[in-house]
Amino acid sequence: LSMALYETPRSIVCVPLSTVDETYGVLYLDMNRSADGLSRSTVEAISAGAALAAEKLTLYKTRWRLVAARDRAIAFNSLSWADTELIMGDSPASKQLKKTIAAAANQDTTVLILGATGTGKEVVARALHQASSRKKEPFVAVNCAALPLDLLEAELFGAEKGAYTGATERRLGRFELANGGTLFLDEIGELPQDIQVRLLRVLQERKMQRLGGNEDIELDFRLICATNRDLEQAVQAGTFRADFYYRINVFSIALKPLSERKEEIKVLSNHFLQKFAKQFGRNFEGFSEGAERQLLSYSWPGNIRELRNAIERAAVIEQTNQITESSLPLMAAPSSPSATSEMPKVPTLLQTPLAFDEARQQFEKEFLKRSLLSNDGNIAAVVRETGIGRPTIYRWLKRYNLKTDGSDG
């Protein structure tokens, strides 16, 4: 029977399942036919069907990647922020902030969060997302100052295969990953103006093109931006585009520094202590009277982030069941002689007759010097303590002519 099968006249067609960018395999047809074989029109129809199948495979693969990316982002959000009270405290400032977030959350409008480093801008952004109708979709955060300028555009918009050296496959940008959800652009004031132009077009048209591509991609996202810079001053100085500033400053939220929210320090300190006690398997009964005095008398130039890091260090080194003054060596009051002799004093900028940019630069320099000194010049430790991106730290070192040990270069 098998010999008879192979002696029968046969027609074989082998057509590649491929697109311009990728080959998935081949379509192999082996048919018993008359001696006349297949007609040209039949072969062309088979080829067209193979090309259509390849395109369908490409669409399916792209959709699978988008869904997988979305699921990863959702999983990350749920793991990182499960059972966490994002906005804590019962002070008038906290109550007002909660009302503001509730008012802005479901309006789906662009929000600009203003505040000094460490005041909790990303926490507020996540609270806005979780209180909105997009809470089940991804929250994608981008630190605009932490990404190298030559990669920032590809990170935001994605890139087609071959768009630049090393682009061996299609890459999805943060806009696509945030589709349906929220895109949070932190340190928006550090964006170069050419990228501001592209972002402005995306915000107006809700469309974008990947690097190296010419296909418009429809987008549906909510944008939240944050900065510690005075953008109005930057617009006047010509370093930030006015049209882009007015486009992102639809609804603004200004966060006060921790020094102006003294009533929240105890609440936040106890919250962080419980968190780290559970993490390190310890059982703390709270803070000693001396430790509480230090927490309340310190100026907290690094704001909530600095407070969190201080409590974490104390929870690690404290040997008793109560956090004492000795576990908070950097928390001495500004008037303490030991503090002024060991650490460079951060200037009280509000009492210094400087222009805003001069005052900000003075603060950045002194803040970096103090952090470098307290971490023995370890850049990785400075990054962890301050939450400032490594590129920004190196940029400040160069700008202010500082060595990694905190001394002047």
Confidence at residue 362, expressed as pLDDT on a 0 to 100 scale? 78
Q: Express each pLDDT in 263-297 by its tens digit.
A: 888 888 998 999 899 888 989 989 999 999 999 98
DSSP for 236-275 reads: HHTSS-HHHHHHH-SEEEEPPPGGG-GGGHHHHHHHHHHH
Confidence at residue 89, expressed as pLDDT on a 0 to 100 scale? 64
Q: Express each pLDDT in 90-140 by its tens digit.
A: 677 778 888 888 888 878 899 999 998 888 899 899 999 988 999 999 999
Exposed/middle/buried for 273, CB within 10 Å: 0-12, 13-18, 19+? buried
Please give the radius of gyration of the chain, using alpha carbons only, rounded to the nearest integer. 29
Confidence at residue 12, expressed as pLDDT on a 0 to 100 scale? 77
Confidence at residue 7, expressed as pLDDT on a 0 to 100 scale? 54
Q: What is d(CA 271, CA 279) in angstroms, rounded to the nearest whole number?
A: 12
Q: What is d(CA 106, CA 5) in angstroms, rounded to the nearest whole number?
A: 70
Helices 265-280 and 289-297 meet at what angle, rounded to 10? Answer: 120
> What are the backbone dihedrals phi and psi of residue 224, each rounded to the nearest 5 degrees, phi first?
-125, 130
Which SS3 state, helix, strand or coil, does residue 75 take?
helix
Confidence at residue 374, expressed as pLDDT on a 0 to 100 scale? 78
Could you give the angle at the alpha carbon of 380 between the alpha carbons of 408 and 318, nearest 5°?
A: 100
Confidence at residue 355, expressed as pLDDT on a 0 to 100 scale? 52
Report the DSSP beta bridge partners of residue 218. Answer: 207
Residues written for the chain: 409
If one counts every other C-beta atom within 10 angstroms of the C-beta of residue 50, the result is 21
Residues of the chain falling short of pLDDT 50? 1-3, 5, 35, 72, 74-85, 332-354
Confidence at residue 342, expressed as pLDDT on a 0 to 100 scale? 40
Long-range Cβ contact pairs of 152-157 (< 8 A, separation 24 or more): 152/191, 152/192, 152/195, 153/195, 153/198, 153/211, 154/211, 156/195, 156/199, 157/198, 157/208, 157/209, 157/210, 157/211
Exposed/middle/buried for 16, CB within 10 Å: 0-12, 13-18, 19+? middle
Q: What is d(CA 116, CA 367) in angstroms, rounded to the nearest whole number?
A: 12
Q: What is d(CA 126, CA 300) in angstroms, rounded to the nearest whole number?
A: 23
Confidence at residue 41, expressed as pLDDT on a 0 to 100 scale? 78
Q: What is d(CA 147, CA 356) in angstroms, rounded to the nearest whole number?
A: 26
Q: What is d(CA 214, CA 17) in angstroms, rounded to the nearest whole number?
A: 24
Are 325 and 294 a contacting pair, CB within 8 Å? yes
Confidence at residue 27, expressed as pLDDT on a 0 to 100 scale? 81
Amino acid at 78: S
Amino acid at 158: G
Distances (CA, A) of 363 to 137, 259, 302: 38, 15, 11
Give which of 43, 63, 44, 50 is closest to 23, Cα–Cα. Answer: 50
Are 153 and 211 a contacting pair, CB within 8 Å? yes
Q: What is d(CA 209, CA 158) in angstroms, rounded to the nearest whole number?
A: 8
Confidence at residue 88, expressed as pLDDT on a 0 to 100 scale? 60
